[in-house]
Structure 1
Amino acid sequence: MVSKQRNSLGKFESKLKKEDVIVVDAKAAKRTVFVTSLGNAIEWFDFGVYAYLAVTIGKVFFPEIDPSYQLIYAFATFAIAFIARPIGGYVFGMLGDRVGRKKILALTLIMMAASTLFIGLIPSYSTIGVAAPVLLLIARLVQGFSTGGEYAGAMTYIAESTPDKKRGYLASGLEVGTLVGFSVSAALVTLLTFILGPEKMVEWGWRIPFLIAGPLGIIGFYLRSRLEETPAFKAMEEVKEEESHQVSIKEILTNHWKPLLICIGIVLFYNTALYMVLTYMPSYLTQELGYGETKGLAYSLLVMVLIIPIILAAGYWSDRIGRNRIVIGALIGTILLSIPAFIMMGTGHDFVVFLGLFILGIMLAAFQGTLPATLPSLFFTEVRYGSLAITYNISTSLFGGTTPLVIASLVSMTHNSMVPAYLLMVVCVIGLVVVGFFVKETAGRSLRGSAPTVEHASEIAEVLKNPDKALWWKEELPSEKAVESDYKEHATVK
């Protein structure tokens, strides 16, 4: 990290020196982003397949349930996997802070692929009865467990491998991977539904996307296993003492409770919007608005493809004008445009329906282009993976993954197709409070607990001119009293 660490939270005893500044090779950084995003795409392909086949899965695994409730049961199985996500986040996150980011990312990917492949091999309810949905539930829990360490780890890996001035743009590539994974899964399901028809899809066609997960997982595992460890993690490891104290969950909750709460608040509105637009809307268009399955999937697919350049643009501009400005603008836009967007989708006119969905997609793209760089910057290097994985997955499990189930249930109970718009508005109001009052702008600044990271050696002199500004986060370190209390057996505090 830098010259000398006084304790494992990253407190420096000396001024910033030339050799402390991390120089990241631009080509290597882009290659890292590409490989990590590709792995993320494979992971979200696996996850997206289930969402886009929700209607079919309801018929395959819950045929004895009233058809009007099959989708709710299918989404309940989708949501139940999120119970395992915080557990996976805790296990993989803490391991990622101890043994490194790359090892855990390779492991989570292969677990996800194996569980997805298993779903494609489960016999239907008509063949083995109630054992079918039970096996489906087990596979979904494994998916949730592995995903708990995936996305937070990918965000951490990219954030720690990119220069400070380009972190927003390069980190937005991770969400391009997410969209590519979702898009490929949506395109495949749409194509199969069009070619085979609803009856053959229920009979056997639904298995094909799940079976593809096997070879994709092997490819992703190979690519990720060849990645280098992040510069920030390697720098932290270099200054650790031989018998370094490992941070516990108790210490994270004690010393880092504020960013934990902020992260939960951000993920609340972020994932509610993400799961609503990317996973719920195809079923909403089909079940609630009466569109055919193929048309609903096609609209969602087109929106996902079109917002990819918007995500990259949001990431690019976040490095120049600040991430908070873009996020706040998107939150206000979502509050103002949610009701008009859903009214447009209810008109029945194809172009107007698509335009309403696209409006929601643009707002989501602004979040996707900025938050993958914002979230890792909330935490110090030593606790980044674990803290982000735990809080991200707790919030996702409570608010994001349950979004399709909650909305489907509320719409069924109230018979009001505008419920999704109201929910989106509420969570964005919460987001305005969190981002507007509690999130410090970090565009162009070093990560907490890490020395500045630059793209060219020529930038080092500029950084050294103002070392206090470069290490801006020092003022946020836990107090001497807190450090002494938690580390008295493991560190010497002056």
Structure 2
Amino acid sequence: MASTDEAGAGNDQHGPHTVDGVTVTPPGLVRRAVTASGIGNVTEWYDFGVYAYLETTIQIVFLPPGTAGGPVITAALFAASFVARPFGGLFFGPLADRIGRTKTLATTMLLMAIATFGIGVLPTYASIGLAAPLLLLVCRLLQGFSTGGEYAGAMTFVAEYAPDRRRGFLASFLEFGTITGYLLGAAVVTVLQTVLGENSPELLSWGWRIPFLIALPMGMIGLYLRYRLEETPAFSQLSSSSEEQSKQSFREFFRAAARYGWRPVLVCGGLVIVFNVTNYTLTTVVPTYLTETLGQYGAPTLTTTTSHVLQIVLFLVLLAVVPVLGRLGDRVGRRPIILTGCIMLVVLALPAFLLMRTGSITGVLGGLLLLGLTMVCFNATMPSTLPSLFSTGVRYGSLAITFNIAVSVFGGTTSVIVEGLIALTGVLVMPAVYLMLAAVVGLVAVRYLREPGSRPLPGSDPAAESDEEAREIAAAR
């Protein structure tokens, strides 16, 4: 029997409504929400892919000729955006818990596109001297500030729209967007370098700008899609029933931690560390490692184009695996998949880098696949697991603050730390050691993680994708 809420909604099957106390969000609306959220990930990681693959070019264009430690400085410029991420989380997280998810995500999308486009129009060192890397730093900080509210918000948005029984599968498409963005960035740079030549005069004078300029139209598409979406059902329900709580989200984050313990925050931080150290090792450390770092210590290297092509092959494989593991997480739980990823990282990190040291195409591809199949265990599960750690009234803020502090301290600094450790010790498998340490942190976090399964999000009603499923859930309660 339908509830009075359903009757009040006029049996509107085209928008969120309730049936017997269960929130029903039609599949078409959920697909729009996933697409609008994922486009932000595409844009964000498109930028990261472009920067990682153009790192050598950026070093030539923005730094004085012959700068000592050029790769480390360029990696530091990349890591600089992570300094701003916690501030973005502190600003956008509580703001979204106060004014809503949709408006906040539209704002972060716009800022991100403008900052990436800005890099594409910057003067070079040859034109304005040291002001060039300083302006690049400003754009990177703006990117980091906007990203501080972007990814946590996208996770929250999809999790609050998704039916409980399909949250793992649907949320995994955020990482599908991440990989797509990185692939797109890699493909654009690879085509440019193939057509114009690696660090050719044409690439150094104007070609390098093209990938960054493309970000603006991508961002405008994402902005349009996000503005067309309604607020999430969970936030709408909270706003109507507990408006005061939504206006106190920043304080509520600390109050909730003090009242219920810091366990969700610490578990979230641990999971984010293992997820992002693995992610940034593969996406920012490995491209330079294969083409430059190995050669500095007498080991065989790959050409830039060969390295790019192998990584594109890897990420095409991962694209196919992410939704499969996301669906599996809905059936067997997210915790076993995350645990598997941590164990694989402990066991396979060293063999992966030993294979990459061989310099052969087969060996490098094998090493990349070992790391990639480990990382995909996290890609497929984290977007549905992390939002389930926090209640609706503080979810966006708590997740944004915790996520971005952990990413900034451990994930975004991965390339700088690893480059520094290799330079200090001369040990070429140092990235594997760093990955294994991150895996241990992840194992501890998994130990204290409560399986989210197909349960409702904390502070939210059960969620279904049809009236029939809602009645089934209501009958089982």
5+ unaligned residues in a row in structure 2: which ranges? 6-17, 295-300
In 2: Cα distance, 1:55 partner to 1:298 partner: 17
In 1: Cα distance, 2:95 partner to 2:388 partner: 19
1:480 is matched with which residue?
none
1:302 is matched with which residue?
313
SS at structure 1 position matched to 2:454 = coil
1:57 corresponds to 2:58: yes
Against the structure 1 CA distance between its residues 245 and 411, is the aligned structure 2 distance closer, same or farther, given a 3 Å change threshold?
closer
1:471 is matched with which residue?
none
Which of 411, 415, 436 pairs up with 1:425? Answer: 436
Question: Superposition pairs for residues 29-428 of structure 1, below 5 Å?
Answer: 29-66=30-67, 69-197=69-197, 198-200=199-201, 201-240=203-242, 246-256=247-257, 257-289=262-294, 290-428=301-439
In 2: Cα distance, 1:195 partner to 1:278 partner: 23
In 2: Cα distance, 1:306 partner to 1:161 partner: 28
Deviations 1:1-38 (A, max 9, x none): x999xxxxxxxxxxxx9542101212221222122212
1:11 is matched with which residue?
none
- Give yes or no for contact 1:58–1:74 (8 Å, CA) kept in 2: yes
RMSD: 1.8
Q: CA deviation at 1:244?
A: 5.8
2:474 is matched with which residue?
464
In 2: Cα distance, 1:47 partner to 1:434 partner: 27
TM-score, normalized by length of structure 2? 0.91
In 2: Cα distance, 1:303 partner to 1:254 partner: 44
Against the structure 1 CA distance between its residues 211 and 18, is the aligned structure 2 distance closer, same or farther, given a 3 Å change threshold?
closer
- Give yes or no for contact 2:249–2:393 (8 Å, CA) kept in 1: no
Q: Which amino acid aligns with 1:280?
A: V
- Give yes or no for contact 1:36–1:158 (8 Å, CA) kept in 2: yes
Q: CA deviation at 1:249?
A: 2.8
- Give yes or no for contact 1:44–1:178 (8 Å, CA) kept in 2: yes
Q: CA deviation at 1:251?
A: 3.0
In 1: Cα distance, 2:131 partner to 2:428 partner: 34
1:477 is matched with which residue?
none
Q: Which amino acid aligns with 1:99?
A: I
In 1: Cα distance, 2:281 partner to 2:189 partner: 18
Moved more, 341-350 or 30-39: 30-39
- Give yes or no for contact 1:46–1:112 (8 Å, CA) kept in 2: no
Against the structure 1 CA distance between its residues 26 and 50, is the aligned structure 2 distance closer, same or farther, given a 3 Å change threshold?
same
In 2: Cα distance, 1:244 partner to 1:442 partner: 24
SS at structure 2 position matched to 1:66 = coil
Against the structure 1 CA distance between its residues 214 and 18, is the aligned structure 2 distance closer, same or farther, given a 3 Å change threshold?
closer
In 2: Cα distance, 1:248 partner to 1:169 partner: 29
In 2: Cα distance, 1:378 partner to 1:109 partner: 25
Q: CA deviation at 1:305?
A: 1.2
- Give yes or no for contact 1:43–1:112 (8 Å, CA) kept in 2: yes
How many residue pairs get aligned? The number is: 451
- Give yes or no for contact 2:245–2:393 (8 Å, CA) kept in 1: no
Deviations 1:307-332 (A, max 9, x none): 11111111010000010001101110
2:297 is matched with which residue?
none
In 1: Cα distance, 2:256 partner to 2:26 partner: 33
1:13 is matched with which residue?
none
In 1: Cα distance, 2:389 partner to 2:30 partner: 21
- Give yes or no for contact 2:252–2:394 (8 Å, CA) kept in 1: no
Q: Which amino acid aligns with 1:306?
A: V
SS at structure 2 position matched to 1:22 = strand
Deviations 1:411-466 (A, max 9, x none): 12211110001110111011111112x11001110001101001222233443345
Against the structure 1 CA distance between its residues 422 and 244, is the aligned structure 2 distance closer, same or farther, given a 3 Å change threshold?
closer
1:446 is matched with which residue?
456
TM-score, normalized by length of structure 1? 0.88
Against the structure 1 CA distance between its residues 332 and 152, is the aligned structure 2 distance closer, same or farther, given a 3 Å change threshold?
same
2:12 is matched with which residue?
none
Moved more, 104-113 or 199-208: 199-208
Q: CA deviation at 1:295?
A: 1.4
Deviations 1:29-51 (A, max 9, x none): 12221222123212221233222
In 1: Cα distance, 2:462 partner to 2:312 partner: 39
Q: CA deviation at 1:236?
A: 1.1
Deviations 1:227-256 (A, max 9, x none): 121111111112135x66622434312323
Q: Which amino acid aligns with 1:446?
A: P
- Give yes or no for contact 2:246–2:394 (8 Å, CA) kept in 1: no
Moved more, 368-377 or 47-56: 47-56
Q: CA deviation at 1:301?
A: 1.6
Percent identity of paired positions between Structure 1 and Structure 2: 45
- Give yes or no for contact 1:269–1:427 (8 Å, CA) kept in 2: yes
Deviations 1:371-414 (A, max 9, x none): 11000000000000000001100000000011111111111221
In 1: Cα distance, 2:476 partner to 2:170 partner: 26
SS at structure 2 position matched to 1:106 = helix
- Give yes or no for contact 2:172–2:381 (8 Å, CA) kept in 1: yes
In 1: Cα distance, 2:148 partner to 2:278 partner: 19
